[in-house]
Structures are given as C-alpha cells and as structure tokens.
C-alpha cells in the first residue's frame, strides 16, 4: 500500500528499503555540509572503558552488561550536521550511572527466555519480514543464535526485562532516549562515534543513497548481522549504529508533533534508536531518531513488530552511587 503522505523525516527511510520505490519521495536532501563545526559538549567522563559484568554465568541467560559512568552530554545535532532531521535540536542532558547491554539481545538469549516462560510464539504481523506468517524464529531471511532477535513487540521487550529482573534480582529495563544517545556517543560529538562519515567497516546499514540493503567492506550483510561483528564504541558497546533499531522506554508523543489516533490512550509511539541494516547513512547517526509504530500503520504500540526492531537492555545499579568525576 502506498503511503498517503511522507511520515516525519526521522521515520522516513527506516525499514523502507524493501519498499524503496514507494518511499523515494520521503528521502531528505542532506543539510549543507558543515561537519567541520567545532565539537560541542564533549563528555568529560568518557575517558576510561567501564567495567563489564553478567549477573549469571550462562551467557545465553544473562546478557553481558557494561557499567557506564554518569555524565552530562549534548544530545542532538548541530544545525549544520549533514543529513540531520529537524527533531534533533541540541540540549544538555545529565545521565545517572547505569548499566547497558554490551550487545543487542540475541535470538539465542530470546530462545532461553521463550523456553523458560513457555511463551506462545506470536504469529502476528512483522513489518519487513521476508515471509508469510513471520515469527522471531523465522523472519524469512537467515539468522543464527548470535543475530539480534527481531519481530518482537514493545510489550515483548518489557516482558523479557521483567523476566530477567525476576531471575537475577536486579532491575532490568529498556533504555531511555537520553540514555541511548549518551551510550551511543560515548563521548563523541561527531555524527557517528567513529567520525563524520558513515562507514561499512563500522556498521551494518544500507545504501549510501536511498534505499535498500548494501554490502561493502566489513559489512557483508544484506539483513541482520551477528552481534559484535563491528568494532565497539569508546564505552565498549557494539551495534549501537545499524543492524537493528532498539526499542526504548521513552514515549515520543509529546516530543514529536504527530497526529495521535482518535481514542488512543497512554503512549501511542515509542522511540527506537540506532537505525537498521537497510537504512541510509543519515539514519544511523548518533542523533537520528526513529519511532514506532509508523503513523499510518494499523498496528499499535502493543502489536507492532518489525524485522528492523530488536532490543538492548539497561539495568539499574544496585546502589545509588555519587556521580564519578
Ligand atoms: Ca549491510
């Protein structure tokens, strides 16, 4: 079905690859070049690689976590950043210490959860899957246990965090929008944590001009890639950019000027960040935002699933520690 209008820019291009011909009108010309703008708001605390840990010995059960320092950073992008969208206004944000998954949650880890809880496998729609009746076990393209789990809803992601919380006695949850960008930037102020230009040696994303999957350099992946196939950022986190977007806790309703469906209650849209294997480069920048469900999608936040959405966990620290200096 052809969209009747372009969704807001931050949603455009994300997962649209397989419908590229329908969505070329949504492509946004890059802003005038100005990646040479002096850095703003460098993160002073991101000088040392933080501690890595797991709350149980079985890696298929407990994801590896990294203990991040708190800090203050500049969220968003400068008006001159190439490829930016208009919902990236800069602001200073403080983030408390928290732990974050070193990798995206994998299919293998999701299988452990699914088996332990005897969850029924949802056969509801999964956008951009490549088969009829897709499930997280079969999105219609090859995946191994080391690939990120996809075709899971926002409530599914919550249930996983709740299960792990019950299992370990530590509070697991989704990241907030601010926490995600803080973790992704890891002290960087450039469009990507590795610099000013997208690189297929650094992340799994799509074509350099809209739209479609791409394979180049280290990025040999048309669809998802095994977690950790690309270099980590300065915090030691892998796949913050590309591969799949990560469901976040933050509600997008009040920050994005989108029509809220009539009769909707609660939060209609949630942010997902990081960009997808099929996105153009500007969608996988640190400041780029995605959200779901798409405004014209019949699915709701309770039912929307996508082959481009997975999750990464956050975990509260056990005691409130003073901010590190
Ligand atoms: Ca790719």
Kindly list the domain boundaries of the chain, sorted by start residue. 1-33+50-325
Distance (angstroms) between ligand 1 centre and the Cα of 322 equals 41
Distance (angstroms) between ligand 1 centre and the Cα of 245 equals 14
| Residues present in the chain in total | 325
Q: What is the pLDDT of residues 43-70, one digit of tens each?
A: 434 455 679 999 999 989 999 999 999 9
Distance (angstroms) between ligand 1 centre and the Cα of 21 equals 19
What is the secondary structure of 71-95 as a DSSP string? EEEEES--TT-TT--TT---EEEEE
Nearest to 233 by CA among 284, 276, 157, 175: 284
236 and 50 Cβ atoms separated by less than 8 Å: yes
Distance (angstroms) between ligand 1 centre and the Cα of 15 equals 12
Q: What is the mean pLDDT of residues 109-132?
A: 92
The class (CATH top level) of 1-33+50-325 is: alpha beta
102 and 67 Cβ atoms separated by less than 8 Å: no
Distance (angstroms) between ligand 1 centre and the Cα of 240 equals 14
Q: Is the pTM of the predicted complex or chain greater than 0.75?
A: yes
Q: What residue spans of 16-99 are helical by DSSP H? A: 20-23
Residue 42 banded pLDDT, cuts 50, 70, 90: very low
Q: How far apart are CA 235 and CA 50, in angstroms?
A: 6
Does the structure show a pLDDT above 70 at 244? Answer: yes
Question: 271 versus 295: which is more confidently predicted?
Answer: 271
pLDDT of residue 212: 86
Distance (angstroms) between ligand 1 centre and the Cα of 164 equals 31
Distance (angstroms) between ligand 1 centre and the Cα of 168 equals 35
Q: What mean pLDDT value characterizes the chain?
A: 85
Angstrom CA distances, 217 to 96, 203, 206, 240, 299, stand at 37, 10, 12, 18, 36
Does the structure show a pLDDT above 60 at 220? Answer: yes
Question: 302 versus 320: which is more confidently predicted?
Answer: 302
């Amino acid at each position: 079905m052809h969209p009747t209008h372009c969704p807001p820019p931050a949603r455009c291009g994300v997962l649209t690859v397989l419908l590229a011909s329908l969505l070329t009108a949504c492509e946004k010309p890059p802003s005038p070049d100005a990646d040479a703008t002096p850095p703003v708001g460098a993160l002073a605390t991101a000088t040392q690689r933080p501690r890595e840990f797991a709350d149980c010995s079985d890696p298929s059960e407990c994801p590896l976590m990294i203990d991040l320092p708190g800090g203050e950073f500049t969220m968003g992008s400068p008006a001159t950043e190439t490829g930016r969208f208009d919902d990236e206004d800069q602001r200073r944000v403080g983030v408390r210490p928290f732990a974050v998954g070193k990798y995206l949650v994998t299919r293998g880890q999701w299988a452990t959860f699914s088996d332990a809880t005897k969850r029924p496998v949802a056969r509801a729609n999964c956008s951009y899957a490549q088969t009829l009746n897709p499930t997280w076990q079969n999105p219609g393209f090859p995946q191994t246990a080391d690939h990120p789990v996809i075709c899971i809803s926002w409530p599914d992601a919550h249930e996983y965090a709740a299960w792990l919380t019950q299992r370990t006695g530590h509070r697991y949850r989704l990241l907030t929008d601010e926490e995600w960008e803080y973790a992704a930037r890891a002290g960087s102020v450039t469009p990507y944590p590795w610099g000013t230009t997208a690189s297929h040696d650094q992340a799994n994303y799509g074509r350099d001009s809209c739209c479609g999957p791409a394979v180049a350099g280290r990025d040999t992946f048309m669809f998802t890639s095994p977690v950790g196939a690309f270099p980590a950022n300065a915090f030691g986190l892998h796949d913050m950019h590309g591969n799949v977007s990560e469901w976040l806790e933050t509600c997008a309703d009040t920050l994005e000027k989108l029509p809220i469906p009539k009769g909707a209650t609660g939060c209609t849209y949630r942010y997902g960040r990081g960009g997808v294997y099929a996105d153009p480069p500007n969608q996988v920048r640190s400041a780029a935002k995605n959200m779901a469900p798409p405004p014209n999608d019949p699915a709701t936040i309770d039912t929307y699933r996508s082959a481009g959405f997975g999750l990464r966990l956050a975990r509260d620290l056990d005691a409130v520690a003073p901010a590190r200096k």
